[in-house]
Chain A
Amino acid sequence: MPYKIDYLDGEVLEWSLTKEGVTCEHITDYTPSLYISAPSHDDLVDVRGFVTRLTEVVQTELEEWRTGWRHTPETVLRIDVDDIADVTSVASDLRGWDVPGTYKCYNVDFSREFRYCLETDTDPTPARTPSTLRIDASESELARGDGIRSLTVGDDSIEGSPAAVAETVASRVATVDPDVLVLSASSIVPKLFEAAPCNCNEYRLGRRPGYQRLAGQSTYESYGNVGHSPARYNLPGRAIVDESNTFLWHEANLSGLLDMVTRSRKPLQEAAWASIGNLLTAIQICEARQQDVLTPWNSWRHEQFKSANQLHEADRGGFIFSPDVGLHEDVHELDFSSLYPNIIVTRNLSPETVRCECHAEREDVPGLGYAVCEDPGYLPDVLRPLIEDRDAIKAEIRETDAPERRHELEGKSEAIKWILVSCFGYQGFSNAKFGRIECHEAINAYAREILLDAKAILESNGWRVVHGIVDSIWVTPMEGETQTPLPNIASDISERVGIRFEYEGEFDWVAFVPLRTEESGALTKYFGARADATDGESRYKFRGIEVRQRSTPPFVAETQKELVETLDHHRTPEAVCDVLQRRLTELRRSAVDPQELVVDNRVSKRRDAYSRATRNAAALERAAADGIEKYPGESLAYVVTDDEKRSRERVTLAHETPKTYDAAFYADLLVRAAESVVSPLGWRESDIREYLSEQTDTSLVRFC
């Protein structure tokens, strides 16, 4: 089974791992295929005449395929093209061939290796665990105009002229002969080739000389977040994992990645750079292919008309109870296990089952009255094995004592978790290949109903709901009522709903944080102390507050943890502020290591798009002066050295080893972090400042 597919000199190379090493098979007769449908057979014959004249096209064939999940098979035209690069250009030509929408194209925008595996029915799971070698070059080295002078390969540091570095790296790679190169950034590849002492065509980091650039860098927007995707490169015979452009490698591990290779049929290199949505799409494309369904290039299928009232109802989004702001003692958390995927599976929700034409009269979905088809949908079929496999993996994790096996299982479990977490959002994502907004709305509507039912049952059994969001509910005993034990209620609810409702744990207390400027609660900001924390488990749980935000400097995060501990022991805002006072004094005496004050921010727009002099703008300018160009979505680490300044002197970049910092700026951050901790007790920033100034006065008096 090949683990890496290369398109090289008009051939496909299949690289397979064996016990001893690796084998390479040359495939000379592979031609990628796309498909086209037309309103009538005559139109297809027409377009076939045109298509066969295109030089890129090697063969055409009329075949029977389904153009949608619920469609009966129809005759479509299969078009085989000479080169993988011709697929999109031919499709683009054909789309403009008549009135838009007359000729629809299918199986167009697949990634290269995935397409090969799909069309040749190849499972790209490697036959053994691939070996890896890591190459790490710092940002400043990559920014040098004249080439890399210092990097590490595996555990070894390599330094010298760019040509010497390139030569040493190549010889190390040749000796180790890894199956996978893990790169801190993929731009290491062209940098080394440029610096290589020999001809670019002879230099090799792969198992054949040379390299290919697969895609240019780009900035994209997804779910409202701006991301940056760096250029992608390919080395024949080895897979690249670009650490600056991989989700699964970070969130799971190699085992998780390999698990997804098997499920998605995306070979290792492509699975590593794929987003979760991308993997989910691949899994669905595989399922579609099994059922003779083609994958549409453009999403022509629109939602059906619904009344403004229905839309208003459907638009309400996920389930949320307003949190009861404050510190609550004796709190218990209960969660529905994988709520959204389980709703999809148990309620048969799928893009083709919601508002199906065959059962138009049914009103299944609560509040919306949409029909849900009785015939099984494909989405439940896709998700069911994921849910079941993850349950089995989690059960094995609980059983196993072997640390290696545990690590492997945890990687797999994490990878599947991410697919399950995203499958719901993906349905509402406008441009998703197989997504559908009505399916998204239906899932939400069921979730709301399920949570409201659970709340009612809990209340009638003596429990007060203090907060609930998405799939979790927090309860505390109702005063003057007898409580039915929670495990009993949980199993009762599980049975009624058909989805496991699990007792998550007990907290000595949980504090729900209000919004900074209002009395009402911030929906996802809370912290609490677990009553049942076992050894090695943290007693505290934090959500949404500064310590969980990636931009928060370590010193501020650590201080906030300390403040929460103080609150745990003393339960008074005064005690918390006393600790805050000590940390502020340290800060003002310049006793804090500047590295502990690094702000790690994500760039949201390009340097020239900043119209206001913000800290990020100053840091970008500073990086640019150093030759480092940052793109939206990339991270930017700096220490604020003088917040009064508007120039690039305002900040120092983390890699410049800052020596000083702006104490007043960080003092403000500390006070804000403290406000999150004491605001559940009713103290706001002004109360903190008032208390601090009183304390300063008394301590001054004491010293006088």
Chain B
Amino acid sequence: MHSTGTREDVPELPQLTAGVTLVEVDEQAIAPIQALVLDHLLLTEATPTARWIDVFDHIQTRSLSKLAPSRPILDRIQVARAFTPFQHFALVEDLAAEIASGGETPLVVAPALDGLYREPDGNLSSQQASTLLVRAVAKLAGIARRHDVPVVLTRTRDDEFSAPIARAANSVIEVTDTRYGPRFASDEFETLVYPVGNGMIQTTLAFWQRVLEARQPIHAIDSSGHEPTMEVAHGTN
């Protein structure tokens, strides 16, 4: 895990690497995840598309489209929504099969992975629901391991039910709000994204819009085919 940034005034974001990354966010905020995904896509080749397995409308296309610097980037995020644990499981399974048969993807995102399995319907026992979740996690971890793909997960609660998600994670990024801006922290990395002193709340869309706008120089360099000028390996710590 490392971060990318070029100059003092360009905010840093952790770069997503192959493997399972569990992002622990305060209050289920989705904007930081959306920003990470968009940033990752802006830094990678223009083809193939990221896959987003959605529940509870975490995708929030309205805010995602405001956050995105341009509409075409949204064509590079492919979403499918699940409304039952069965649909969620089937989606994960089908995606794993598709990638195994040669489908390329730069990124898989599954927010609130435990969410639907917590409220099973159709007489699914909690034991069966838990088994289903464990198998879904294993499938996603398999995608990350076999195909060198970053897989980003979040969970709705930190408890025994969601523990299999944490166990499968190769790295954990904690996103916390501080007075100086959101802080991304993992074992190897810690950074303050963008210290804004004007009281702007970091979970707001406007904040993340500014972050992505301010990162445009690196995105621009990257999409023009050049390497980013510098990789900051240790953030601000």
Contacts and interface: CB of A to CB of B under 8 A. Distances in A.
A430 B93 CA distance: 19
B80 A101 contact: no
Contacts of A303: 80-81, 87
B132 to A, nearest CB: 5
B62 A312 contact: yes
Contacts of A315: 61-62
Summarize B's interface: helix, strand, loop or mixed: helix
A92 to B, nearest CB: 6
A311 B80 CA distance: 9
Contacts of A625: none
B61 A437 contact: no
A315 B124 CA distance: 30
Interface residues of B, number: 38
Given A297-B122, A298-B86, A300-B87, A308 B79 contact: yes
Contacts of B237: none
B90 A101 contact: yes
A441 to B, nearest CB: 11
B135 interface: yes
A95 B84 CA distance: 16
Given A100-B135, A298-B122, A305 B79 contact: yes
A307 interface: yes
A302 B94 contact: yes
Contacts of A91: 123
Contacts of B75: 307-309
Q: Is the interface of A mostly helix, strand, loop or mixed?
A: loop
Contacts of A92: 123, 125
A676 to B, nearest CB: 30
Interface in B113-162: 121-125, 127-128, 131-132, 135
Given A96-B128, A430-B84, A309 B90 contact: no
A536 B74 CA distance: 56
A88 B128 CA distance: 15
Contacts of A437: 81, 83
B89 interface: yes
B89 to A, nearest CB: 6
A309 B80 contact: no
Contacts of A307: 49, 74-79
Nearest to B94: A302
A99 B135 contact: yes
Interface string A328-356: 00000000000000000000000000000
Interface residues on A, range: 20 to 34
Nearest to B64: A308
B38 to A, nearest CB: 10
A658 B81 CA distance: 52
B51 interface: yes
B123 A299 contact: no
B77 A302 contact: no
B223 interface: no
A517 interface: no
A308 B66 CA distance: 12
B85 to A, nearest CB: 8
A91 B122 CA distance: 11
B229 interface: no
B78 A301 contact: no
A92 B131 CA distance: 14
Most buried by B among A99, A297, A302, A306: A302
A431 interface: yes
B52 interface: yes
A309 B81 contact: no
B86 A312 contact: no
A312 B84 CA distance: 21
A100 B65 contact: no
B91 interface: yes
Nearest to A299: B84
B71 A309 contact: yes
A308 B122 contact: no
Given A308-B74, A311-B79, A300 B86 contact: yes
A305 B61 contact: no
Nearest to A104: B86
B86 A299 contact: yes
A109 interface: yes
A302 B78 CA distance: 14
A304 interface: yes
A35 to B, nearest CB: 16
Interface of A: 88, 91-92, 95-96, 99-101, 109, 297-309, 311-312, 315, 430-431, 437
16 contacts: A96-B131, A297-B122, A298-B121, A298-B124, A301-B90, A302-B91, A302-B94, A303-B87, A305-B51, A306-B80, A308-B74, A308-B75, A311-B59, A312-B62, A431-B83, A431-B84
Closest 8 A/B residue pairs (Cβ): A430-B83, A312-B61, A302-B87, A308-B74, A305-B78, A308-B77, A309-B74, A298-B86
